[in-house]
Amino acid sequence: MSILIIQILNSLFYASVLFLIAAGLSLIFGVMRIVNMAHGTFFAVGAFATAWLVARAVALGLPAGWTFLLIPVGAGAVALLGIVIEPLLRPFYRRAEEYQLLVTFGLLLILEDVIRVVWGGLPLSADPLMDALPIIRIGGLIYPAYNLVVIAVGAVAALLLWAGIYRTKFGVMLRATSQDRRMASALGLNVGLVYVSAFAIGCFMAGLGGAIVVPTQAAVLGMGIDALILAFVVVVIGGLGSLQGALVGALIVSFVRTAGIQFFPEIELAVLYLIAVVVLLVKPTGLFGSA
């Protein structure tokens, strides 16, 4: 029984991180109609930046508990990176979609190596942050409390995003721009500002995903490329451009992966892609998406 609870918690943990990445991807696509191939790499930048900050802070004597504050800093750094990059992408909004995919793919290649230049080739970890929280007992087994924090962060982020998009004026602007850019612009909305904001928020989400996951595992080169493909699977299942889709998709992918590891260790990867293909065939816009 405890095992079941722990595997459920493991799935929720993984889903939390996936949701953050996928929601960012979906948001950017929903508002700006760009598929950002470098999105996974933004996730990686968040992980590396946070791990580096934590290591420096601890070396400078900061007590481990305070390092939690570095998580939003790491995510914020990625948002800043997004704000810097977005203007470079502007010429491509009106161009054919192919060019956007290619430019963001080029961005992926560049950022992957920038990570290496800045942080080196070896994995970076942020253990002090995770070990600052206790280990709790569940039945006869133990479980790190930090993972519960990750789950909470994911849930809170989902809530805040939903509130932000559906309950605030800014959210209205976002939705208006995503539905009809020309009309929104004609009505006086500063579309450029909306775009930058959407991109920054999307990058922040990806960076946050990296920041909260890195204490539990190290930041390694190539983590962005793996993450991107998983994020794609999530939004394919959930629907590109849909917040609920990102949430539901993340949960499905995560639980299927855990079930695969527990019961069918041989095929964990293939099952995920197959599900994506099936969904694409049956409802190509995803469970919650619209064309």
Partner 1 sequence: MKADVSRISYRPKLALAAASALVLIVLALLPPFIGLYQTQLLTYGLIAAIAALGFNILLGYTGLLSFGHSAFFGIGAYSIAFLLRDAGIHSMELYILIGLPIAALASALFGYICVRHTRIFFGILTLALSQVLYSLALKLFWITGGTDGLRVPRPTLLAGTISFTGAGAFQRFIDAYYYYVLGVFAICVVVMWVIVHSPFGKALQAIRDNEIRAAFLGLRIHRFRWMSFLISGTFTGLAGILWAPLNGLTTPDVLYWPFSGEIVFTTLLGGFRNFTGPIVGGIVFTYLKTYAVATTEYWQLLLGVVLVLLVMLLPTGIVGAISAAAKKLGPNSP
Partner 2 sequence: MDNPTTVDRRKFLGAIGVTVGGTGLAGAGLVAAPQLVKAAAEPPKGKIPDTPYKTGHMTFLTGPAAVLGEPSLKGHTLAAEEINAQGGFLGKRKIETITADEAAGTDANVKELRRMKLEGKIDLFTGVISSGNTPALGPVAEEMSLLTMFVDGCTDFLFDKAVPQPKYTFRLTNIQSSDGITAAIGTAQAWPQTRKIAHLHPDYSYGRNAAEHFTLAIERLLPGTQVVSESWPKLGTTDFTSHITKILSSEPDLLFTSVWGGDYVAWYKQALRYGLFDKMKVATTLAFGVAPHALGKDHPEGVLAGVHANYHFTYPGGDRWPVNKAFVQRYFKRWNEYPNFQSEGSYVTLYMLKMAIERANKLIGGWPDDEAIIGQLEGLGFDAPSGYLYIRPDNHQGYKDAVTGFSKNNAEYPFPTWDPNRIITIPIRNITAPANWPKPGNGHNESTAAADWIKKTWPKAMG
**Site residues, partner 1 (CB under 8 A):** 29, 35, 37, 91-92, 95-99, 101-103, 105-114, 116-117, 225, 229, 232-233, 236, 240, 266-270, 272-274, 276-277, 280-281, 284-285
- Could you tell me which residues are beta bridge partners of residue 219? 124
Nearer to partner 2, 196 or 220 (CB): 220
| Among candidate residues 113, 114, 89, 109, the one with its CA nearest the CA of residue 99 | 89
In the bound state with partner 2, the residue whose beta carbon lies nearer, of 14 and 29, is: 14
Residue 96 beta carbon to partner 1: minimum distance, rounded to whole angstroms: 8
User: Shortest Cβ distance from residue 167 to partner 1 (Å)?
Assistant: 29
User: From the CB of 137, what's the least distance to partner 2, in Å?
Assistant: 9
CA angle 234, 113, 240 (to 5 degrees): 20
280 interface partner picked from partner 2, partner 1, none, CB below 5 to 8 A per type: partner 1
**Binding-residue total with partner 2 (CB under 8 A):** 35
52 binds, among partner 2, partner 1, none (CB under 5 to 8 A by kind): none
Cα–Cα distance, 136 to 151 (Å, whole number): 15
Tokens representing 169 are 């004026």
Q: Which is nearer to partner 2, 7 or 285 (CB)?
A: 7
Strand, coil or helix: 284: coil
CA atoms within 13 A on the CB side of 223: 28
Least separation, in Å, of the C-beta of 201 and partner 1? Answer: 21
With residue 69 as reference, give the H or E element that holds it. none
Q: Nearest to residue 238, comparing CAs of 287, 176, 290, 273?
A: 287
Q: Give buried/exposed letters for 66-76 (b at 16+ CB in 10 A, else e).
A: ebbebbbbbbb
The residue ranges of DSSP E strands in 26-140, in sequence order, are 135-138
Stretch binding partner 2 (CB under 8 A), from 33-41, 114-122, 153-161, 271-279 = 114-122
Sign of the Cα torsion 42, 45, 51, 55 reads negative
Residues 215-274 close enough to bind partner 2 by CB under 8 A: 216-218, 220-223, 257-258, 261-262, 265-266, 269
Give which of partner 2, partner 1, none residue 218 binds (C-beta under 5 to 8 Å, depending on kind).
Answer: partner 2
- What are the Cα distances from residue 78, in Å, to 170, 246, 247, 263? 21, 20, 22, 37
CB of 68 to partner 2, least distance (A): 17
Binding site for partner 2 (CB under 8 A): 3, 6-7, 10-11, 13-14, 116, 121-123, 125, 127, 130, 135, 141-144, 147, 213, 216-218, 220-223, 257-258, 261-262, 265-266, 269
